Amino acid sequence: MALASSWYSFVDPSVQARVLWYTGCAALGRAWIATDVFRLAGPERSRLRPIAWVFGTFGVILLWRWLWSAMGPPMAGFLAAGFIHGLTLLTYVGFVLFKDLALLDATVSRLIAETRHLADTDPLAGLANRRVAMGCGQAWLDRARQAGSSLGVILLDVDHFKSINDQYGHAAGDDVLVAVARVLECLVPPGGLAARVGGEEFLLLLPDTALEEAARLAESARLALHHLEPSDSRRLDLSASFGVTMATGHVAIDTAIAQADRALLTAKASGRDQVFVVPADGGAGSGNNLLSFSGSLG
């Protein structure tokens, strides 16, 4: 466009040719940007869609100007260019304003989303943090009260985690926590939540889940951890202790977690690497695997 502008200014002066070159290149550029933005996927698309509309609209106006200029009589100068060219200049001012406002809005929206994600996510494990888990758990319990359903609650703690840090270093300990988080993410069914609520303590919330089903999932997680290897492929003989309960809508989420914690402490006191169950009424069921307390989960 710069070369064409120089050519039609000094070698072969032509106002009309310069207008056509500038308008055509500008229209193509804005159409390219609008199309590129519209093709984005995920949350970025919705945030940047106003920018795409601004670029697309101005591209249409530029195309109109190009057609008007191409089919009209030769122009003696820019001051005598006519209505369409004056409208284009005014539209350009609006385009710059709306483009900047749309870009600012998209940037602020992205920063808010990223800040919310950082506030809601455990930075190491990549799971929800305790605050999110408590909020979701209470909301699900309130919903369970209306629907007459229940919420499965599983609390687990990695066994002998301090010895892993002491023997292999804190980096190895971090690898273990990340690997455990990935296992839990795979096991939690859609609609459930896995969260890291302490140093080596994790919480699973399972809406509309019976006690026996929650205990079965906890046993699957316990067995999966036996075969887990951290990212450096070091064999650590990992295990975890589990406390399981079923909460109904008439209890608060912290009460339900306290019940699961009581079962978890019992599992640790009984030798670790076990799943213990506390029924919703606060009674106790126990065992070292699903078969040992099968049939007594309620």
The share of the chain scoring above pLDDT 70, in percent, equals 89
pLDDT score at 82: 66
What is the model's pTM? 0.66
* Contact criterion met (CB below 8 Å) for 154 and 260: yes
pLDDT score at 248: 86
Q: Given pLDDT bands bounded at 50, 70 and 90, which one contains residue 202?
A: very high
Domains annotated on the chain, with CATH: 2-120 (no CATH), 130-293 (3.30.70.270)
Query: What does the alpha-carbon distance between residue 189 and residue 154 come to, in Å, rounded to a whole number?
Result: 13
> b/e per residue, 245-275, with b = 16+ CB within 10 A?
bbbebebebeebbbbbbbbbebbbeeeebbb
Q: In what order do the strands lie in the sheet with 193-196?
A: 193-196, 201-207, 150-158, 240-248, 275-278
100-115 pLDDT tens trace: 888 888 888 888 888 8
- Whether 138 shows a pLDDT value over 70: the answer reads yes
Pick the catalytic residue: 44, 114, 185, 200? 200
Of the candidates 174, 184, 208, 172, the one whose C-alpha atom is nearest the C-alpha of residue 128 is 184
Query: What does the alpha-carbon distance between residue 157 and residue 180 come to, in Å, rounded to a whole number?
Result: 10
Higher pLDDT, residue 163 or 80: 163
* Contact criterion met (CB below 8 Å) for 85 and 78: yes
Query: What does the alpha-carbon distance between residue 206 and residue 188 come to, in Å, rounded to a whole number?
Result: 8
Tell me if residue 200 is catalytic: yes
At residue 76, φ and ψ (nearest 5 deg) are -80, -30
Q: Given pLDDT bands bounded at 50, 70 and 90, which one contains residue 279?
A: confident
pLDDT score at 216: 95
- How many of the other CB atoms lie within 10 Å of CB of 54? 24
Of the candidates 127, 136, 191, 116, the one whose C-alpha atom is nearest the C-alpha of residue 156 is 127
The separation between the first and the last C-alpha atoms of the chain, rounded to the nearest angstrom, is: 78
